Amino acid sequence: MDRILARLEDCYQLAEQHFSRPFPRPDITLDLRGQRAGVAYLNRNLLRFNGQMYRDNTEDFLLQTVPHEAAHLIAHLVYGPRIRPHGPEWRGVMSGLFRLPANRCHNYEVARRRATRYLYRCACPDHMPFTPQRHALVRKGRRYQCRRCGDLLHFTGQQMAQAV
Ligand SMILES: [Zn+2]
Ligand SMILES: [Zn+2]
């Protein structure tokens, strides 16, 4: 977190020199999950970063992602709410001011977890994937009913790996 704050401070000082005005520093969290590296909340002056991606790609994250999101907040404060998120104003801050490529998307490989699912069925045409926990409960005698057709769901003997 210290390194993110230091990197942000560099960006904000550059912006303050360039635009000759102060910018309020944003609140930062590292609680973002999923496919995105960061999200800028313009009206709350908040940046949420993906802590897992930060740990896995620390140097590139500091180089690219932190300025990318900071540029959203700065462009919003300078040019107002009508600009497009990755439009010319944002790109100007990224490339003109931060001297960085104005890429829309992060390039990190997101490690997708694959989880085992046990396939159950009833009278309906589709299989119903059960988690291992649920499958274990069935093994212990628990019964589940389909909410649509009312049949008991029974194990087909098949498993699959599902991206989660
Ligand atoms: Zn963006
Ligand atoms: Zn059914």
Domains of the chain: 2-97 (3.30.2010.10), 114-163 (no CATH)
Question: Phi and psi (nearest 5°) for 76?
Answer: -65, -45
Q: What is the pLDDT of residue 47?
A: 96
122 CA distance to ligand 2 centroid (A)?
Answer: 5
pTM (predicted TM-score): 0.65
15 CA distance to ligand 1 centroid (A)?
Answer: 17
Q: What is the pLDDT of residue 111?
A: 47
Q: Give the number of the ligand closest to the Cα of residue 153.
A: 2
115 CA distance to ligand 2 centroid (A)?
Answer: 23
Q: Which of 59, 69, 89, 109 is catalytic?
A: 69
20 CA distance to ligand 1 centroid (A)?
Answer: 24
Q: What is the pLDDT of residue 106?
A: 62
Q: Is 69 known to be catalytic? A: yes
Mean pLDDT of successive 10-residue segments in the chain (164 residues)? 95 97 97 90 94 92 94 96 92 94 68 77 91 95 94 92 69
Q: Give the number of the ligand closest to the Cα of residue 76.
A: 1
152 CA distance to ligand 2 centroid (A)?
Answer: 8
Q: Give the number of the ligand closest to the Cα of residue 150.
A: 2
Q: What is the pLDDT of residue 109?
A: 52
Q: What is the pLDDT of residue 163?
A: 66
